[in-house]
Amino acid sequence: MSIVYDAAARTLTLHTRESSYQMQIGPLGHLLHTYYGRRAEGDFRSLHLLKDVGFSPVPHELDGETRGWSLDTLPQELSGANSGDFRLTSLCAVTADGRRGGSLRYVRHEIRRGKYALRGLPAAFDPDGEAETLSVTLADEALGLEAELLYGVYESRDLITRAVRVTNRGSAPLRLEKAASCCLDLPFGDWDLLHFHGRHAMERQPERVAVMNGVQRIGSGRVSSGHQHNPFLILCDKHANEDAGDCLGLMLVYSGSFEMELEQDQMGSLRLTAGIKSEGFSWTLQPGESFDTPEALLCFRHDGLNALSRRYHRLIREALCRSRWSGAERPVLLNNWEATYFNFDHRKILSIAREAKELGVELFVLDDGWFGRRSDDRSSLGDWFVNREKLPGGLEPLIRDIHALGLRFGLWVEPEMVSENSELFRAHPDWALAVPGRLPALGRSQLALDLSRREVADWVFETLVGLLRRYPIDYIKWDINRSLTDLYSQALPADRQGELAHRCTLGLYGILERLTAEFPEVLFEGCAGGGGRFDAGMLAYFPQIWCSDDTDPIERLTIQRGTGYGYPLSAVGAHVSASPNHQTGRRTPLDTRAVVAMAGGFGYELDPGKLSEEEKERIRVQIARFRELSPLLREGDLYRLTELDEPRDFEAWQLVSADRGESLMSLVLTHPRANPRPLHLRLKGLDPAARYRVERLDLFDAFLPEKPEPLPEIYTGAALLYAGLTLPRMMGDYPSVQLVLKKAED
């Protein structure tokens, strides 16, 4: 068993392959955290010395016995409110008569095989029967409040999941004001925070900062996880790097408004809480009702950031995403958005599709503008019928013609939104989020539908079901292009408006649950103005998400690096687009664009009719290479070959098969210099005892002053790991290289 209860010590210990997590039932029933770190056997209660700290109160029962026993200084598994702990609160409830708090004491625990599930929320599942669940029930008898702490343990995957189920055991209504998914107290350590900030077209920029005395907070109040902050962070010790040092990750399986808070207190202890954003949140529980928090995924590694990332990648691919496409080979697609924007008709689309088929593309995606009277972004969202001005014959003949070419067909939708200039809004203005008495803020000239309402969510579901049943659609790109404001629902009473944001997220999940179950053969890709909702909650339903609206490959290097710290490359939507790039105006080589796009779900976003014959031939080669390398690109272990903050003129990464028999190294030169230092790097993840053959070494679009000496055909794994490679000099604008290695047969 990976969960062990020691009745004498009153400790509960969770073991994964490389980590241990321990808690203790305290003398008064408080659930105290004792240890989370590298796997170790033992009783860790003695780590926490009792010390009388001024102005830190003691429970009434212990006054006169030990003034060092205070909730204000001891590490806890779930911090309550108004009970003597002045640090960050995890759970706060208010009774009908105004009593506010959450003083939680142990009631019982249960250890069982399998993985718990959450109601209405995505969560990791147990694909191979290895998971175990620990349930610990705590209660505040005065409030009639019960909190069931849920822990899922994946021993071989090295992850622990956490969630909380809050139940009203009293006889009167109870209002939650905060309900975090987890609380983690780390009494010792000198930590850095690695988080992922950004903005539209510049998502998930990695930033490493020191943990400070006081409170640090990241989050989103946009009713989506947002472009600005991602619901994933890493704590790492000061000396940790990509391949060494203690690292602790926390990822929320949630797509709505969230917060992740850190507080380093007066004694140097660090508290980390994460969950639904508490500002503006409330939830009323009638007697007997329960509330489930979103799931948190915890991982501890002692051997650096690369190892931590790979654990998250595997769990998401194998035990979170339920789509049959999660581990399957996916078609190379071409999306017409940057080729045409809104300006297209049947003939133009078919011409692009025909050219794409000649290049080896397998899926054509028709983007925005095919519906209603949509000729720009100011109308028709909600009117999901065909735009007959652009497509007089409708979608049927277009899809028939595209299928006749041997291509699959995909379609763009934005079903969570509505335009004021639409038939849907004119019929149901109350379906849009708006505060009565004032004009709502607009984003991209559109409003958000109130998905907390069952009739609205059902309409969205039935509309999409109608499209998928009527037309032979192989792929759906699901977009959302604004943050939610003016949060007010005409279907909720005044005292329950604080539930709206979370109810909208639950409404979205309900639609996705039903839709993906009914159409398992359809490949769904998420999008939110690019990467504005790239989170584990969406990945539970969609196997890939459009990473960013910025398709500039040099910008994408940082965006995709930041994304890869938590999310697998197979989930990253990435395309080769035109040069000069539409977002930055930068000119980059066609092959470099392909190298970057191969670090994700590969596709194109350009007009192939505008390419030269030479460029078309290069694309054929790129697609053939992607097909050959597809299993490795989809399932290989990722190794970042450069440190985050080191000065460098290139970005390099490596994928290695599970059996270490095959590897792909990719490198893009971002800053060519007149008199460069040698371009040297050590590879990772290989078998040091094996011999590797260089299958291919391509210096794409790199102007070389003279032909370089060929690299040896055979290397030992040890030589590549410890001595490394020195590559020939690369010149020109943003050249790239890919190196394929395979174990040589004896």
Task: State the catalytic residues.
Answer: 535, 615
Q: What does each C-alpha distance from 627 to 166, 173, 289 come to in angstroms?
A: 48, 58, 51
For tokens 């509505």, name the residue.
418
- State phi, psi for 431 to the nearest 5 degrees: -75, -15
User: CA neighbours within 13 Å on the CB side: how many for 289?
Assistant: 11
Collapsed DSSP state (helix, strand, coil) of residue 440: coil
List of residues 6+ apart from 171 with CB closer than 8 A: 144, 287
Evaluate whether 61 touches 28 at the Cβ level (below 8 Å).
yes
Contacts 24+ apart (CB under 8 A), 110-113: 110/134, 110/135, 111/1, 111/3, 111/5, 111/135
Contact 570, 544 (CB under 8 A): yes
591-611 as b/e: b if 16+ CB within 10 A: bbbbbbbbbbbbbbbbbbeeb
The set of residues, in sequence order, having a beta carbon less than 8 Å from that of 195 and lying 6+ positions away, is 206, 207, 209, 218, 229, 230, 233, 234
DSSP lists the bridge partners of residue 656 as: 637, 663
Nearest CA-CA partner of 200 in 480, 542, 602: 480
Show the DSSP H helices in 420-499 as ranges.
423-427, 454-470
Contact 721, 691 (CB under 8 A): no
The tokens for 280 are 């503006």
- Tell me phi and psi for residue 700, to 5 degrees: -75, 130
Q: CB neighbours of 148 closer than 8 A, spacing ≥ 6?
A: 135, 136, 137, 138, 164, 165, 166, 167
How many whole angstroms separate alpha carbon 413 and alpha carbon 206?
Answer: 30
CA 7, CA 494: separation in Å to the nearest integer? Answer: 48
- Report the candidate in 428, 462, 467, 434 with the shortest Cα–Cα distance to residue 448: 434
Look up residue 267 and give its DSSP letter. Answer: T
Q: What CA–CA distance (Å, rounded) separates 209 from 256?
A: 25
Residues 21 and 14 sit within 8 Å (Cβ to Cβ): yes
Whether residue 545 contacts residue 525, with contact meaning beta carbons closer than 8 Å, is answered with yes
SS3 343: coil
Specify the long-range contacts of residues 337-340, CB closer than 8 Å, at least 24 apart. 337/367, 337/368, 337/412, 337/605, 338/551, 338/577, 338/578, 338/582, 338/605, 338/606, 339/605, 339/606, 339/607, 340/607
How far, in Å, are 256, 305, 312, 646 from residue 239 at the CA level? 34, 11, 22, 13
The C-alpha atoms of residue 192 and residue 12 are separated, in whole angstroms, by: 28
Cα 19 to Cα 42: distance, rounded to the nearest angstrom:
13
Amino acid at 321: C
